[in-house]
Homo-oligomer: A and B are copies of this chain.
Amino acid sequence: MKHKKIIAVLGGNVAKKEIYEKAYQVGKIIAEKNYILICGGLGGVMEAVSKGAKENDGLTIGILPGGNKGDANPYIDIPIVTAMSNARNAIIARSCDIAIAIDGKYGTLSEIAYCLNFGKIVLGIDTYQIEGITTIKDVEEIKKYL
């Protein structure tokens, strides 16, 4: 288990079908690479990527904003309960080796900003175009960076 890479997936709590499917694929790839997934643990992109990882024998960690581990989506193996609301975004960004941002709004943007601030590689799929993000067109491309 030790020295496995931890990959963060950043994204919102709701996701349209197309985004959900891309996030699922990202989770699948993370699991196939035998990496650990870390995310915010809730719904939308977080659920999709956790499902993709879990259904491919990956290990999933959810850094939850609320105070109840029951808030975690059903595909989270290890719920870390922070009760720190969005301040937990800093923990996700600190704990990952590489981050993949998918879609998302201002919450996701705060995670992206933290990751870039901490010098992490950030791959972006259908998300903000901030200087420092590596934009990915096709999900398969992420394999080159993992």
Query: Which residues of A approach B to under 8 Å, CB–CB?
Result: 1-2, 4, 6, 36, 59, 61, 63, 67, 69, 76-87, 89-91, 94-95, 105-107, 109-110, 112-114, 116-117, 128, 130, 132
Contacts and interface: CB of A to CB of B under 8 A. Distances in A.
A5 to B, nearest CB: 11
Given A69-B95, A89-B110, A110-B114, 15 more contacts: A1-B78, A2-B76, A67-B94, A78-B78, A81-B94, A82-B94, A83-B86, A84-B87, A87-B87, A89-B90, A90-B90, A106-B132, A109-B109, A109-B130, A112-B113
The interface centre, meaning the residue of A1, A90, A132 with most chain B CB atoms within 10 A of its CB, is A90
Copies in the complex: 4
Contacts of A130: 109, 128
A109 B93 CA distance: 14
A83 B90 contact: yes
A106 B110 contact: no
Given A106-B132, A110-B117, A130-B109, A91 B80 contact: yes
Given A82-B94, A94-B67, A77 B1 contact: yes
Contacts of A85: 67, 83-84, 90
B86 A91 contact: no
Contact of A63 (B6, B79, B80): B80
